[in-house]
Amino acid sequence: MLRKRSISRQVLDVTYAVVFVLLLLPSTLSGPYGSPAVVVLIGFGLALAVRRRSPRLSLALAWVLAVVQMVGGVLDLSADTAIFAILYCTAAYGDNVIRRLGLASAVGGGVIAALYLAYVDGNPFGSPTEEVYQEPRFLQFALLLAGLWAMLGLSWALGRLAYARRSAIESAHARELAEVHQARAEHEVAIEQERNRIARDMHDIVAHSLAVVIAQADGARYVRAVDPAAVDTALTTISDTAREALSDVRVLLGQLRHSQGDLPTPGPGDLERLFDQMRATGLTIDSSIDPTEVSLGAGTHLALYRIAQESLTNALRHGDPDRPVTVTIESDSAGVELTVRNSVLPRRSSPETSGHGVAGMKERASLAGGMCTATGDGSSWTVTAWLPAAGSSTKGIN
């Protein structure tokens, strides 16, 4: 199997092979083996030229040339130095099978070469007799085997080290790339979460403010003939509500431009101001707030305010205007529970199916570590939210 390599690397390999052949060609031509030795030299040059592009082909060609040397008795060993580079490349650039074949070639080839050089003496069909296992032939074989194993094994081991180093570098690069992708994904998730948060705030601000403005405008239009003073009160409420909404929207737009700054966090006193603002629209609110003090974080205060705001806005838009809305806030050491209940008209749509407000309330409560439910029985609509105190754990809503 041919490996994909850059053109410059392949040109370098071919150049190295050509230089190898040219350097050894004069001594090979002047040697006793003549043309067969030149053929072997050129064959090893070809094996060197493809050693990195195709380690499998290079190793197979080296074995064929080794067999040709032994069968033909071509003992010009200068060309055999190419085997070291070939074994290196089998370990450095080959797959698992080629690496194992390269190691087996280093071990088996060393044994065959040592046997051939020590016993055959250039006769490929010779057979050892009993005295070949005696001194000094056996000692010569042992020394040759040790030397060949050392050189061939070292070549293969260096290639294996090069492969391990290259794999480590590639793994490090892959890990760095994965970390970059992870950081980018986390950044995108953070941006999406921030957009969702701003969208929730925008919905709460705009929906609440427009509901108040519409209610005040309709009321002023109906009573202007009989109570002109009420028109001034309604216009004042519209002006204050619109001005407050405009201020909040400007803060949100500033966050979109600069990714910084937060909306002012509503405090406990802002709930009473919210109730008064909704009463000014004509909504009747019966509120009961537990005076027990409980420590709530800034995010929990905001969630409590927004859930109450959305619930009252839904009551104004979808509820029965002739019946009061009951708001109950109970506190204990674990947290605070908000309950908003209003009557609904049979022909009006349910808040659950008419927008995104109910889903936003549930998400706000969840992000604050609490829970929120919104249920209706056909004649009334009840929103119940439990939000934990600072440092307390989440519990369910009874």
Q: What confidence score (pLDDT) does residue 125 get?
A: 36
Instruction: Clarify whether residues 64 and 173 are in a common domain.
Output: yes
Percent of the chain residues topping a pLDDT of 70: 80
Residue 186 lies in a domain: no
What's the whole-number mean pLDDT along residues 47-62?
91
Instruction: Clarify whether residues 35 and 171 are in a common domain.
Output: yes
Nearest to 110 by CA among 139, 73, 146, 85: 146
Which position has the higher pLDDT, 31 or 161?
Answer: 161
What's the whole-number mean pLDDT along residues 367-393?
84
Instruction: Clarify whether residues 154 and 300 are in a common domain.
Output: no
- Residue 355 pLDDT exceeds 60: no
Instruction: Clarify whether residues 176 and 312 are in a common domain.
Output: no
Local confidence band at 194 (pLDDT 50, 70, 90 cut-offs): low
Which position has the higher pLDDT, 356 or 18?
Answer: 18
Q: Based on the structure, what is the number of domains in the chain? A: 2
Distance of CA 249 to the CA centre of its chain: 34
Taking a C-beta distance cutoff of 8 angstroms, is the pair 109, 60 a contact? no
What's the whole-number mean pLDDT along residues 312-331?
87
Query: Structural domain of residue 367, as residue ranges?
Result: 268-398
Look at residues 181, 207, 228 and tell me which one is the last residue of a structural domain.
181
Q: What confidence score (pLDDT) does residue 247 get?
A: 66
Instruction: Clarify whether residues 151 and 300 are in a common domain.
Output: no
What's the whole-number mean pLDDT along residues 371-397?
79
pTM of the predicted model as reported, rounded to 2 decimal places: 0.47
Local confidence band at 211 (pLDDT 50, 70, 90 cut-offs): confident
CA 93 vs CA 74, 137, 364: distances in Å: 30, 38, 57
pLDDT in tens, 263-298: 556 666 778 888 888 888 778 899 888 877 777 777
Q: What confidence score (pLDDT) does residue 260 get?
A: 47
Look at residues 181, 206, 222 and tell me which one is the last residue of a structural domain.
181
CA-to-CA distance for 58 and 220, rounded, in angstroms? Answer: 95
What's the whole-number mean pLDDT along residues 60-72?
87
What's the whole-number mean pLDDT along residues 297-316?
83
- Residue 192 pLDDT exceeds 80: no
Instruction: Clarify whether residues 34 and 131 are in a common domain.
Output: yes
What's the whole-number mean pLDDT along residues 10-20?
88
Query: Which CATH number goes with the domain that contains 392?
Result: 3.30.565.10
Q: What confidence score (pLDDT) does residue 117 get?
A: 81
Summary mean pLDDT of the chain: 79
- Residue 242 pLDDT exceeds 90: no
Whose tokens are 């808040």? That residue is: 351
Q: What confidence score (pLDDT) does residue 198 get?
A: 66
Residue 213 lies in a domain: no
Which position has the higher pLDDT, 218 or 22?
Answer: 22
Taking a C-beta distance cutoff of 8 angstroms, is the pair 324, 286 a contact? yes
Look at residues 162, 181, 200 and tell me which one is the last residue of a structural domain.
181
Residue 165 lies in a domain: yes
Q: What confidence score (pLDDT) does residue 348 get?
A: 60
Local confidence band at 5 (pLDDT 50, 70, 90 cut-offs): low
What's the whole-number mean pLDDT along residues 59-83?
84
Which position has the higher pLDDT, 334 or 204?
Answer: 334
Local confidence band at 136 (pLDDT 50, 70, 90 cut-offs): low
Instruction: Clarify whether residues 279 and 154 are in a common domain.
Output: no
Q: What confidence score (pLDDT) does residue 358 get?
A: 79
Q: What confidence score (pLDDT) does residue 130 get?
A: 44
Residue 308 lies in a domain: yes
- Residue 361 pLDDT exceeds 80: yes
- Residue 118 pLDDT exceeds 50: yes
Residue 216 lies in a domain: no
